[in-house]
Amino acid sequence: MFPEYRDLITQLKTTDRHFLNVFDKHNELDQQIKNMESGVEPATHIAIETMKRKSWRSRTSFTRSCARLPVEAMTNLGCRH
């Protein structure tokens, strides 16, 4: 998730417990979606779309975590403000 924010993600995973939980949950959702789409895990189209919405919400939480940082830190870590 967000390779352009690798440094920021690393920092947030070690300093923000909420972010770490959101990040881990997103990765689990992403893997589950991939499994559903490839047929490894059976699912309906509706179930896949529901999982994608959950994944989108976890990305929104990442954006909020980024927005909580001071502008200087966001700039140094490559986060848009």
Residue 67 C-beta-side C-alpha neighbours within 13 Å: 6
What average pLDDT does this structure show over 48-64?
A: 82
Which amino acid type is present at position 62? Answer: F
Q: pTM score, two decimals?
A: 0.65
Residue, of 79 and 69, whose pLDDT is higher: 69
What is the C-alpha to C-alpha distance for residues 22 and 45, in angstroms, rounded to an integer?
Answer: 24
Q: What is the pLDDT of residues 2-43, one digit of tens each?
A: 677 788 888 888 988 888 888 888 889 899 999 999 999 999
Domain residue limits, the chain: 3-76
Burial class (CB in 10 A: 0-12, 13-18, 19+), 4: exposed
